[in-house]
Amino acid sequence: MNEREILQTTTKYVRGLLSGEGSGHDWFHVERVRNTALHIAREERADMFVVELAALLHDVADWKFAGGDHDAGPQAAKKWLDSQSVSKEVTDHVAGIIADLSFKGAGVDTPMRTIEGQCVQDADRLDALGAIGIARAFAYGGHKGRALYDPAIPPQPHASFEAYKKNAGPTINHFYEKLLLLRDRMSTATGKRLAADRHAYLKRYLEQFLAEWDGER
């Protein structure tokens, strides 16, 4: 198959796998990440084929839904790409991007080795910001049965991936533990520019939320 056919079959596969998912990691999340990653890739002159494949496959076996297994995602991507006769070079590149993609805690660095990985990682993080990021945070919190907010439970700056994986705090804490940190962890110039407005929107939302919580508005 040529690149176009591989992308078409991969799109169909991922859409079928994730359609109707209710935690905010559904097909539409993947579609948004793909579109944003391609936009960044054009600006940053990255390999569009690698970027699109990695964006499409980045959540096919997310560790959050694979019993905490961080290797599940890269392995699932490799299995699929091997079935499509994708070259070993591209397959290894895509799997490597997926392995390094996730946020792993406030105290954990998550550098991306290639510009293609940076494009996908920035796009995935952008979808955790702004109005859609807020909606996804509460969708995931509801999926996990978490409280909206509890003033008695402070946010935790997780120093390790293991600590981050075990976190079960209220959804508002997630804003401080991850979402508000993402703007400064963008790798590409395009990602940093797009993150600025979305970060500002998060801050305005939090101010409104906390004011309403205290009965001030």
Give residue 62's pLDDT.
67
Torsion of CA 53, 134, 161, 29, to 10 degrees: -20
Question: Residue 129: CB partners within 8 Å, gap ≥ 6?
Answer: 179, 182, 183, 195, 198, 199, 201, 202
| Residue-range definition of the domain harbouring residue 174 | 3-213
CA distance 62 to 200: 28
Give residue 69's pLDDT.
60
pLDDT, tens digit, for every residue of 47-94? 999 999 999 999 887 655 545 566 888 999 999 999 999 999 999 999
Give residue 66's pLDDT.
44
**What pTM, to 2 d.p., does this model score?**
0.92
Q: Using an 8 Å Cβ cutoff, are 137 and 171 in contact?
A: yes
> How many domains is the chain built from?
1
Cα 1 to chain centroid distance, Å, stands at 29
Give me the CATH number covering residue 203: 1.10.3210.50
- The count of other CB atoms within 10 Å of the CB of residue 88 is 10
- Helix, strand and coil percent figures for the chain, each rounded to 5: 65, 0, 35
The ranges of the chain with pLDDT < 50 are 66
CA distance 4 to 11: 11
- The count of other CB atoms within 10 Å of the CB of residue 14 is 21
From start to end of 68-115, where are the E strands?
none
Give residue 194's pLDDT.
97
Side-chain-facing half-sphere of 56: CA atoms under 13 Å? 22
Q: Using an 8 Å Cβ cutoff, are 17 and 62 in contact?
A: no
Side-chain-facing half-sphere of 187: CA atoms under 13 Å? 22
Give residue 139's pLDDT.
93
